[in-house]
Copies of this chain bind each other. A is one copy, B any other.
């Protein structure tokens, strides 16, 4: 029972982050390696600049991603998963697999 309550609290905590529109998708987009702002923006259909900026900022603050500035030339900013962020990937992968099997696909 105590474990059960603890589990719900942890899930609630996790979805304080993941339950915001686009956060998980942004994280998933970084799975294959670091990317810049515009790269992410182009990779994710339907995501506006301002929300991307907000999400990157939040995910950085929560420690799931890290922002790095390469001084160039040309100057470049990139974002990559931290160890915490990487540790979440297996679960996100599992969710992807679940979605492929259980959610209607609108074609590809």
Contact = CB atoms under 8 A, between A and B. Distances in A.
A105 B10 CA distance: 8
A63 B103 CA distance: 9
A91 interface: yes
A50 B88 CA distance: 31
Contacts of A21: 15, 19-20
A11 B96 contact: yes
A69 interface: no
A42 interface: no
Interface string A1-45: 000111111111111011111111100110010000000000111
A95 B11 contact: yes
